Amino acid sequence: MTKTLAYSVGKPSTWWLVILGACLGVASALTLLAAPIGYRLGVIPLRIALLTVLRWGAYGGIATVVVALIGLGATLMRPKDRRRGVSLALTTLVLGAVLVGIPGRFGLGPPKPAIHDITTDTQQPPQYVAVLPLRAKAPNATVYGGEAIAARQRDAYPDVKPLVLEVPPSRAFERALATARAMGWELVEADAATGRIEATDTTFWFGFKDDVVVRIRPTTTGGSRIDVRSLSRVGGGDVGTNAKRILAYLEALKIG
């Protein structure tokens, strides 16, 4: 009995800072999850979810990284036979870094212009038709904002431009439609006669509904010009989501 007790007393334990860092990581992760879940359930307003809950989740991630680093350093300073909790500290450190990075996707990272309507043609943007009933209660209108919005888009996303394919409009329409389906968009209408495709894309975290319209027109050389417009239903800014969506679509269309 005496030998057993002596062994238990001398057994190395995990440094308390390592445990604290892990607890902070779990708490921060739950806070970040509360933002989209609370918004989807209708119990947390969008502004509070984005600007308060997510922000505190990011702060928790930073605290997790700091505490995990201190705990890891303190653990490594122990004798080799008493370094318990190194793996936990390293895992917590990685978790904290991920938690800090997630809020950056929702406007807590590098600043993006407060615009939510992006198009490859700012002079004659593609017009929405079929999705209009779906946007009946959406705060954001489908009327394009004109040069004021166009200038901000050009400054922020200069690579958002029309795509020209050296194929006739009929083939371009088929490729455009197939690519829209491959992107996982919810197809609303595909009108081959007018060369117009309308669809809705739902974002992963918050479930935001953004509407996309694709327009195919013939060129003077027998090819096709593809213009795309992506418009958020809610929110003053989209933190770059619509531009990324258009660029990803055009790149996939180009390859396909």
| pLDDT for residue 9 is more than 70 | no
Are residue 129 and residue 97 in the same domain, yes or no?
A: no
Asked if the structure places residue 100 within a domain, the reply is: yes
pLDDT, mean over the chain: 89
Are residue 124 and residue 43 in the same domain, yes or no?
A: no
Distance CA 68, CA 47 (A): 31
Distance CA 14, CA 174 (A): 61
Are residue 89 and residue 131 in the same domain, yes or no?
A: no
Q: Among 96, 58, 95, 92, which Cα is nearest to 72's?
A: 92
Residue 34 half-sphere exposure, CB side, CA atoms within 13 Å? 17
Share of the chain above pLDDT 70, in %: 92
- Residue 128 is classified by DSSP as P
From 47, 75, 106, the end of a domain falls on 106
Are residue 183 and residue 61 in the same domain, yes or no?
A: no
Are residue 20 and residue 62 in the same domain, yes or no?
A: yes
Please report the pLDDT score of residue 200 as a whole number.
Answer: 98
Q: State the pTM of this model.
A: 0.79
In order of 88, 119, 215, 248, the CA distances from 158 in angstroms are 44, 11, 20, 15
Dihedral, CA atoms, 34, 36, 37, 42, nearest 10 degrees? Answer: 110
What confidence tens digit (pLDDT) does each residue in 195-212 have? 999 999 999 888 899 999
What confidence tens digit (pLDDT) does each residue in 137-169 have? 999 999 999 999 999 999 999 999 999 999 999
Site of tokens 């990075």: 101
Are residue 193 and residue 240 in the same domain, yes or no?
A: yes
CATH of the domain at 202: 3.30.530.50
Q: Among 14, 38, 149, which Cα is nearest to 92's?
A: 14
Are residue 123 and residue 96 in the same domain, yes or no?
A: no
Q: Structural domain of residue 164, as residue ranges?
A: 117-255
Asked if the structure places residue 217 within a domain, the reply is: yes
Distance CA 40, CA 16 (A): 37
Are residue 96 and residue 146 in the same domain, yes or no?
A: no
Are residue 90 and residue 200 in the same domain, yes or no?
A: no
Tokens of 105: 């996707």
Asked if the structure places residue 74 within a domain, the reply is: yes
E strands in 22-148: 117-119
Distance CA 149, CA 113 (A): 10
Q: Are 85 and 75 a contacting pair, CB within 8 Å?
A: yes
Asked if the structure places residue 48 within a domain, the reply is: yes
Please report the pLDDT score of residue 2 as a whole number.
Answer: 46
Are residue 248 and residue 172 in the same domain, yes or no?
A: yes
Element holding 35 (H helix, E strand): helix 16-41
Tokens of 149: 């919005």
Asked if the structure places residue 189 within a domain, the reply is: yes
Distance CA 50, CA 10 (A): 48
From 58, 79, 106, the end of a domain falls on 106
Q: Which residues contact 245 (CB under 8 A, 6 or more apart)?
A: 201, 210, 212, 230
Please report the pLDDT score of residue 170 as a whole number.
Answer: 96
Are residue 146 and residue 213 in the same domain, yes or no?
A: yes
Instruction: Tell me how many domains the chain contains.
Output: 2
